[in-house]
Amino acid sequence: MTIHLSIILFLPLATGLLGAFLPRGLARWAVLAGTVAVLAYTVALLADFDGGGGLQYVTDDEWIPELGIRYQLGIDGLNLFMVALTAIAWVPCTLVAAFRQHDRPKLFFFNLALAETAVLGAFLAQDLALFIVFFDLMLVPFYFMIGGWGTGDRVRATTKFMIYTLAGSLLMLAAAVALGVLSTPDGGEISFSLADLQQRSVSEGTQQWMVLLFALAFFVKAPLFPLHGWVPETYRSSPIVTIALLSGVLSKVGVYGFLRIVLPVMPEGAQHWQELFIIVAVFSILYGSILAFSQDNLRLVLAYSSIAQLGFIVLGIFALEDKGAQGAVFQMLNHGLVVVPLFLIVGVIAERARGSESLSELGGMAFRAPVLAALFLIITFATLAMPGSGNFVGELLVLFGTFEDKLVYGLVASVGVVLAAVYMIRVFQGTMHNRPGPDVEPGEIDGLHLAAIAPLVAVIVALGVYPHFVVHRTEKATTAAIQEARGIGQEVANR
Amino acid sequence: MSGTSYGWLVLAFPLVGTLAIAFGWLGGLRGRTAGWIASGAIFGAFLSAIGALIQLQDQPEESRSLVDSAWTYVATGDVKVDLAILVDPLSVFMCLVVSGVSFLIHVYSVAYMGGDRGYTRFFAYLNFFVFSMLLLVLASNFVLLIVGWAFVGAASYLLISFWYRRETATRAGIKAFVINVIGDVGLVVAAFLLLDQTGALDYAGVFAQADHVFGHNDGTLVAACLLILVGAFAKSAQLPLHTWLPDAMEGPTPVSALIHAATMVTAGVYLIARTHPLFELAPAAADVGAIIGTATLVFAATVAVAVTDLKRTIAYSTISQIGYMVLGVSVFAYGAGMFHLMTHAFFKALLFMGAGSVISAMGGIQDMDRMGGFRKAMPFTFAAFTAGALALAAFPFTSGFFSKDEILAFTLERGGWYVVLAIAGYAGAALTAFYAFRMVFRVFYGNPVEEARELEQGHIAHHPPSNPATGEPEDTDVGFPAEEHHIAEREWPMRAAMGPLAVLALLAGVVQVPGVSDVIEKFLEPTFADSHFHDTAPSDSSEWVGLLLGGLISVAGIAAAYHAYVRRRGITLQLRDRFPRVHAFLVNKWYFDELFEALFVRPVATAGGFGRAVIETRFVQGFIVGGATGVVRVGSSLARAVQTGYLRAYALLLLLGVALLILYFLLASS
């Protein structure tokens, strides 16, 4: 079966454009159909994918030959499930937006569709310049969605969001250009193709500062402490589906960049900063968990919990050990799968509490909404990485990988596991249990949200029962991604 | 069918039961049907366990350890985990105890929970609990064990906070859950250490390698065993991780009987027995287990003497009795430990059922100070509760008599400083007999209270629904816990559950009488055949000496309770007034809750406040964001010259900068 990645990539954008010219009632169906078609195509991809093979379904065309930039797409174990996550996450979010977004809906749908194309592009790109193009393209629709449809102090939120992410990606751009230029051999052609960059080399000293610039961009996006200054306002002001996608999917692009670009292309530089990045990750785990525990606003609890979860992922990657990296890749998928429905549930709760999203005003909803409570409960357990969930397997592998060489960091990170139990159960109880809060008018989950959330819960449960489905397919590429940096680390240790 | 097929069936029944009830509820399933479906599912599991037992006994002794894998759970690098079960005498023994006792408690609950608005939800949770517990005991590797371990914790959490409108219940739930997660983390780290050293995560692989890679008291192995103990102690409520169990009494009484007495809390004992090859190689860790078990049994017994809440008294008694079991398996008396696990499941479940009946008759009140004289009003409950109390007090020839004293006889047999542990165990036994009958005499003897008199006239007391812990009134629109109350005297399912347990509590000791029978020891032998402590079993005669001593202590304890609570009522009040400090110390449970509050809860809360108030505002927003906006401000003041908005100017400036950088590199390279 031939699978053309360009179809997956541009289908959302095409339907978004199409929707712009359709009447309002039809536009939503067009955009929705686009996301569903991408999902269907991705399922075919998952079925067809060869776990033992390398990069597959490659598309490789010239784009800007003068600058050595190619239109290069491909799928391997690293991005297979990131593409799947994108496809899975966009369907329920588009569904909810399609029936809940009444203000300038067509424009919103277009932004949503453009965002999907951009994110898919960032995941699929096999050329560094192409990656950066899509990486920055992601900002545009999100900027408009937050600024145009957000609530509260959205101007301040978008400003901060833009400053942080723009600063990050411009630093990355500078580093990328430098990388392309410095790695060009004498008399050779400049190239940004990742495969070429991996073959060529730049000196260790140069790699070190380049890695740092890339890391700044990726840490801002993740986000990790202390580069999360944009998080509180953005999370508070964004439309709920936007923030669900931002937190669930966009945050993965950064950490994915480490595995796709930083570690294979600049292994010495990555290895050089290993200790620092691990410390940042561990600190983010603890700091995010403790802050999540002391927030009152539901979105902020999830915001800080994401900082902690992303800390786990970065920890797994920079443990530079096969199990840890495997766990990180799996956890990237798992975290996205739980965060998206969590935010959608926040939306459901707010609809039943006169817009309130603060724990101190909520409570006691389970009695009139047992189905909502049951779905929420399963997602809560998965989020806190309860054994039996895919998240547990991911975290277990991350911890096992970290223990291998960095036992103490791993043990400190384990404290985060306990803290996660505290803040997630606190959220569940604070909304579903105890006495009803002053603003709560409890009601059962509506059909729209049920249709959006229940399939995600089914996927979460399925991954808990058979995690090997993912792990088996990601193993080869993940091991290859960290191989070189890992080897350098071992050499250093032996010396 | 093979033994493992029966093993899978054991798991399938309660899982299907859970799903059937949950989805049945969506389809309109109401009323007692849910309770009967749940009970039927557990009975199916019990029958399947018997099937597994029969299949196992057909095998020759050395091959009574069957593993069957459903599919690969996760495999990457050196981690290889199958979704596989292990059917051997130990797991089958546990399956029988768990499913058998669970079945009776399900039947009891059918009536006891009647009228509760959460009836269907209750049975879905209860079946899920049994599934988790059976998964825990049937797991054939550490990862699946941890999965069952955590599921059990989750089920326990859900059932503790079952009446979730009560803040005391939800707080107790989160406390139990978090302490259980601490245990999970301990097990995860232990599993890593074992994987790292032995290259395996399944029991057979780890134990086979352990002999080769670990020396006697190898440091890593001792660490791994201590971490296993962290897991075991969190689940089994041993010092210092016990504080969640008394609070767990916020759950409905059948939950206390099933989860917080008979099954889940004994998982730690099972775990130590399961991993005995490791503990035998690391006796230092086993000694830690024995010492903590002993300390716990004495500590909890002293608290049980002082508290007046009926359910919490039994909860401390559970902590204390599990201390005996931990002591038993830690001194490598596996048969004795498992024997006590079984008899304790019988008599403790029975005590809780009796207590539930009494609490119902009291209209929801749990304080023993308010109770008295129920003997005539509730003859059946009185008889059953007394049977349970006799077994708990290890009264001669009851089940607890044989099982508890076997543990202490083994401990004595080890000699040396273990004698101190045995003596502490006997001291604890005296306290046990005393508090067991303190409950009997305070609840059933003396002048009948108003509720008892009402019941004698034929109607059950109803108080306005209120939280027994705080006294605050309950939301009536929610209706749980049920306003109507059910007592054993009037409900046949409750009697049908308590009757067999009362018989078992009194007579189950016959399976293991020194010099007469040793059914359990013999049955479990294939699992423990590799034990190096096979020959240290005490002789029959020394066991009988121990039994005589234990019997005397038991009778003396009961007599003391009779003296204090029947013959000379009020003597305890005098004691309390004489030693107020001692009393306060005991009633406040040795101030463990306060200690943890000060050590962990408050520091984390303070750190959170500090993070929010100082780090977030001063550092992240003030320094980093402030720095960034400072740059922007400079940029925008520059940009004002060209009359643009500052964001655009900022982007422009950065782009300009990057363009310059690009230019530089392009120039530099040429």
* B618 pLDDT higher than 80: no
Asked if residues B523 and B552 have their Cβ atoms less than 8 Å apart, the reply is no
Asked if residues B412 and B544 have their Cβ atoms less than 8 Å apart, the reply is no
Going by C-alpha positions, the residue among B291, B273, B393 that lies closest to residue B333 is B273
Whose tokens are 């604070």? That residue is A430
Residues of chain A with pLDDT under 50: none
Q: How far apart are CA A272 and CA B513, in angstroms?
A: 68
DSSP string, B93-125: HHHHHHHHHHHHHHHHHHHHTTT-TTHHHHHHH
Q: Which two tokens stand for residue A238?
A: 């964004």
Put simply, whether A185 touches B (Cβ < 8 Å) is no
B612: buried, middle or exposed (CB in 10 Å: 19+, 13-18, 0-12)?
middle
Q: How far apart are CA A112 and CA A12, in angstroms?
A: 9
pLDDT value of position A123: 94
Put simply, whether A458 touches B (Cβ < 8 Å) is no
CA distances from A40 to A7, A13, A46, A245 (A): 12, 16, 10, 19
Going by C-alpha positions, the residue among A353, A378, A382, A381 that lies closest to residue A365 is A353
pLDDT value of position A336: 93
At B486-539, the pLDDT tens digits run 877 788 888 888 889 999 998 888 888 877 778 888 888 888 888 877 667 777
Nearest to B149 among A387, A399, A411 (CB): A387
Q: How far apart are CA A116 and CA A12, in angstroms?
A: 6
Contact A163 B475 (CB under 8 A): no
Asked if residues B239 and B222 have their Cβ atoms less than 8 Å apart, the reply is no
What element of type H or E holds A466?
none
Euclidean distance between the first and final Cα of chain B, in Å? 78
Chain A nearest CA to B620, separation (Å): 6
Nearest to A167 among B177, B654, B669 (CB): B654
pLDDT value of position B125: 93
Three-state helix/strand/coil letters over A193-246: EHHHHHHCCCCHHHHHHHHHHHHHHHHHHCCCCCCCCCHHHHHHHCCHHHHHHH
Put simply, whether A421 touches B (Cβ < 8 Å) is yes
Buried b (16+ CB within 10 A) or exposed e, A403-439: bbbbeebbebbbbbbbbbbbbbbbbbbbbbbbebbee
pLDDT value of position A39: 94
- Percent of chain B exceeding pLDDT 70 equals 91
Nearest to B612 among A294, A367, A384 (CB): A294
Chain B nearest CA to A12, separation (Å): 28
Nearest to B608 among A174, A293, A322 (CB): A293
- ipTM for the whole complex: 0.91
Banded pLDDT at B625 (limits 50, 70, 90): low
Angle among Cα B46, B49, B50 to the nearest 5 degrees reads 90
Going by C-alpha positions, the residue among A208, A344, A336 that lies closest to residue A270 is A208
pLDDT value of position A380: 93
At B566-616, the pLDDT tens digits run 877 777 777 777 777 877 777 777 778 778 777 777 777 787 777 777 777
Q: Which residues of B touch A370 (CB under 8 A)?
A: 25, 121
Banded pLDDT at B348 (limits 50, 70, 90): very high
pLDDT value of position B199: 86
Buried b (16+ CB within 10 A) or exposed e, A62-80: eeeeeebbbbbbbbbbbbb
Residue of A nearest to B474 (CA): A435
Task: Please give the model's pTM, rounded to 2 decimal places.
Answer: 0.90
A21: buried, middle or exposed (CB in 10 Å: 19+, 13-18, 0-12)?
exposed
pLDDT value of position B643: 45
* B665 pLDDT higher than 60: no
* B416 pLDDT higher than 60: yes
Nearest to B478 among A228, A367, A386 (CB): A367
Q: How far apart are CA B587 and CA B579, in angstroms?
A: 12
Chain B nearest CA to A93, separation (Å): 26
Chain B nearest CA to A24, separation (Å): 32
Banded pLDDT at B623 (limits 50, 70, 90): low
Q: How far apart are CA A199 and CA B24, in angstroms?
A: 60
Cis peptide before B240 (omega within 30 of 0): yes
Asked if residues A309 and A284 have their Cβ atoms less than 8 Å apart, the reply is no
Contact B170 A418 (CB under 8 A): no
At B149-200, the pLDDT tens digits run 999 999 999 999 888 888 888 888 988 998 899 999 999 999 999 998 888 8
Cis peptide before B481 (omega within 30 of 0): yes
Q: Which two tokens stand for residue A72?
A: 């290069």
- Please provide the average confidence, as pLDDT, over all residues in chain B: 84
Chain B nearest CA to A124, separation (Å): 25
At A315-358, the pLDDT tens digits run 999 988 888 999 999 999 999 999 999 999 999 998 888 888 88
Contact B662 A182 (CB under 8 A): no
φ/ψ of B66, rounded to 5, equals -105, 130
Q: How many helices (H) and strands (E) does chain B have?
A: 28, 4
At B110-162, the pLDDT tens digits run 988 887 888 888 999 999 999 999 999 999 999 999 999 999 999 999 999 88
B60: buried, middle or exposed (CB in 10 Å: 19+, 13-18, 0-12)?
exposed
pLDDT value of position B308: 87
pLDDT value of position B670: 44
Asked if residues A76 and A96 have their Cβ atoms less than 8 Å apart, the reply is no
Q: Which residues of A touch B651 (CB under 8 A)?
A: 162, 166
Q: Which two tokens stand for residue A325?
A: 């990296």
| Average pLDDT over every residue of B385-401 | 90
pLDDT value of position B140: 92
Residue type, B552: L
